[in-house]
A and B are shown apart, each in its own frame.
Chain A
């Protein structure tokens, strides 16, 4: 019984996706839509198949850059969360500054970073870290502060040191929040990489996208989009998988989730 609900959910998601693609194909065929306006799913699939080696090659560049960005972002995010949590003044001092960095549009910041740091890897990584560190830092900071007060009181009563409280209570208690942040970062990071690649450079799926767009190769543009979406989904899935590996103590809440549909 417990396994039926998730299975049904998966079937529904897959079904609606398949139906969407089918309607799309049908619309293209019935109204004879020009491929350069809206290519049919079949055309897109063929565009992917025709240019497969190059797409995969470009995707590889994007994947590497995204992994580097997420990795650095997570490192900075966790470091910032710990710094803000452990030293109270820092939070008040730096919060406005960080909010500012999150509100400068990427398309404005990108060219500036290129002016300052050249066309190399550096401006792209800075852009990525700026995007990736924030969700991790903010979620984890909230998680660190929300450790259960009963457990906090217990550790105080037995005389545990500040370090022990951090290690045995606050860090493990902040893991669920950390993974919430990581999933957000994983989802954002891919589109941030695309922006970074679109800004400059000669590799990556973002660059491929620009080329196809300039050549009015709409099926090629869609082929790139499919790759980007697939990569983003894979990133999110990997983050969710890591979460499931790391947080095994939580009682499975299949019933609660299954109740949504009822």
Chain B
């Protein structure tokens, strides 16, 4: 030992210096404990290496090592959340390439390698992983997808995937599905790179989630650094593992501190506030396990695994194989075998792990197993992220709920059983009659004309035909319409485009009354309260709210949030940031989910997610079109941490199920729509429309400036630019909203408006 040390004194010192640096990384500087002194002593020894006697040198080095051991133990005993964040951010932490090298036997990077890559922050590789069963080796093919933040940091953007990086990930997920091989995804990202260029940060994440929700291969995710939306882009998995010293969070502690402390752009965020927010966000592995946003924790060394911790890589390989087995076994129809295999695995878990497995399990799935896999995935995500409160319902509400259940059964029979049969018969009749119609037309035409003359087609109640209704705008309605309370002020306002287009000052009663908040010169849309839409968009008296009893709570016990919640409730008289209701538009019955600005800026937490899901399910059960009208959303509610983030895959999965069942899902953005919701259950809609003057995007200008260092033009997120980038399919004028919505329902829904 001594001999080895003697030979490697330089290496020994380097190792010590690295350990000191690592501790300094964790503690946020050399000022903690005696780190500075130890660091200086190592430097000193380096400079005097040839002046010292060997014995003296090693006595000194051993002393330093002992003290370091002691300091490391002290740090490991009581790691705070921010220290765990620092561990994850340390340059000495393992990265995806270390995993590829050490957990997999061979791998080939796909879609470019290293710097020559469409997005070096996302690495995709076809890899082989081995399993040893009774001294025999079995090879499994897998698709590894993950973020890489090391090995060429300067071009990897710290693991922040650009939209085209996520698109690449999606492309190879589809390849894995075609080839029927499982996906292992490794999440090492502080967040997605916030740019709107096509395919768009938010929209691409939404597309990934939409596809992953029905991907017919097992997906196992491992989280080391799970930064919100960026993590979700490849994180919708059947089993989610997490490193014991990793973090998974809705926002970085610095970002949360800047919001909580209302720090101005460029201002310094106090360290104490950052630490406080890190603790409040409940971002560690233990916290996430308690919140059930992950399934298992993979133990790391007490101070986190580094690049040379081979024991950890052995463990990780074992856990990844085991997790994939578990996903596959759960889909098997042989219950006895399934329970036997899973039992064996739990024994392996309790008895410690070895490289050896008892049985070999093939990872390919049959069609029925794939179906079960999707069912299980759906069940899993539907049961996650339930951090809301359910109030006791009144007798009336419970009665109406019972009526709803009866209705649902009725719809199931009507549209499920009977409809399917009637459609088959209808199709047959159509095919037969189209052949004969050519000959019959000459005979039937005069009869039809005579019939139409005697019995003209009935007009609607108000005497207008459907074409008349289409041409009608909301201006042509009776004067008993809702007028915004904003119109009650006797003053004028200036249009923000006055300098550009020479807009005249607008008298407020005119603007918010007759003009519906629209500048008559340039068409700029002034924001209007959500009540205006409730009253003007839907048929009078048709709005019937449901699930009012699901209310926002403070599941993380985030300090100070209870008061904020209370204030929001007092101000709005509502208890969540979403309103879900049945309504009709020109007699077309639809289900609507409306995120609105007054309640915590329309941010999405557990209650909002749950209400959205229930509304979507209701639309599916009743076979009605589903409209998500986004009055405003500020993203995922940071005070609910990962319980908020998990709403992204959760809701997307339910939307996917709704669309697959034949539903028509339309999203309309108004005012401001940003971040998580756009990057998931909104951005995945095939029909997205923006109201004029609205802004749609992933991250706001400030976040873009702070993360990318580049400034963005003032109209970067405008609906017009979103349209140019292909994120939305059209821009509607508020005054024509009702008419356009009706048209959209008729054209997109067509004859299959209620069911396909």
Mutual binders A and B: no
Binding site for A on B (CB under 8 A): none
Binding site for B on A (CB under 8 A): none
